[in-house]
Amino acid sequence: MAFVMAGIVVAAFSLQLAMGRSSFSSPLIVHAHAVVFMGWVALYVLQNIFAANGAMALHRRLGWIGAAWMVLMVVLGIAVTVLMVRRGQAPFFFLPLQFLIFNPLSILTFAGLTTAAIALRRQTEWHRRLHYCGMTLLLGPAFGRLLPMPLLIPYAHEAVFGAVMLFPLIGILADLRRTGRVHPAWLWGIGTIVGLQLVIETLPYSSAGASFYRAVTAGSPGAAVAPLDYPPPPGGPLITGRGTST
């Protein structure tokens, strides 16, 4: 499944580039974000290869590099989200406040699941399933580029959530087929992802969500963008909202 996940990510971002929806004139931090997140995909695939072939010394060594890499992902993931919202460039198929909340929370939840996987590295069955659930969350941006998002308004985010959830469900089915039971790591992983979704569905409509949006966008063009209204589609092909560095 690691190769399937990696294939989805590569296909999604290649499609964006081929259709002119990505720009090399985006701010430098956006490119750094892309390189770092794609680097994690490569790390995940390599770790699966090492584990499958018994190269555990390499697996452990690369694992600690991955732990440090994860911190960089959290910082860049949140920074790029804040940049986009402050510039008033959240993707038009998401509510700006919804985007401001779900992107950082998703990367933080990924980090939480990954940290739990590292903590349980000596319990292989837990370790690999929690890593898998964490990687599942990173498929959200890929599905956001593969699905016809403008046609899915106002349920674009929910559609991405549904696509993402297919992967842990496949993991459960694989367990049932092999052992006849569901490993509890799946329940914790899926429960965490579903809990995240519930927060995403409610927090944007709370006073705390509104206050958060005002604090983040203060003094920026994003402050003039209604947090709970869908922005108009951009005039050009850059529908993901990252814009250019100018």
**Two tokens, residue 92:** 């038009």
The secondary structure of the chain in percent helix, strand, coil, rounded to multiples of 5, reads 75, 0, 25
What local confidence, expressed as pLDDT, does residue 246 receive?
A: 42
Dihedral class, residue 243 (left if φ above 0, else alpha if ψ from -120 to 50, else beta): left
Domain membership flag for residue 11: no
The list of the chain residues with pLDDT below 50 reads 241, 245-246
- SS3 state at 55: coil
Domain membership flag for residue 17: no
Domain membership flag for residue 114: yes
Taking CA atoms, 158 is separated from 102, 139, 186, in Å, by: 11, 14, 21
Domain holding 128, by residue range, is: 27-223
Domain membership flag for residue 85: yes
Domain membership flag for residue 109: yes
What is the number of domains present in the chain?
A: 1
Cβ of 205: how many Cβ atoms within 10 Å?
A: 13
Contacts of residue 173, defined as CB under 8 A and 6 or more positions apart, other chains included, come to none
Taking CA atoms, 169 is separated from 125, 185, 194, in Å, by: 16, 12, 12
What local confidence, expressed as pLDDT, does residue 234 receive?
A: 80
Domain membership flag for residue 8: no
d(CA 234, CA 231): 9
**Two tokens, residue 77:** 């993931």
What local confidence, expressed as pLDDT, does residue 26 receive?
A: 79
pTM over 0.85: yes
Closest CA to 51 of 42, 40, 60: 60
d(CA 142, CA 121): 27
Closest CA to 141 of 184, 81, 67: 81
Domain membership flag for residue 141: yes
What local confidence, expressed as pLDDT, does residue 236 receive?
A: 60
**Two tokens, residue 10:** 């590569």
Domain membership flag for residue 45: yes
| DSSP at 233 | P
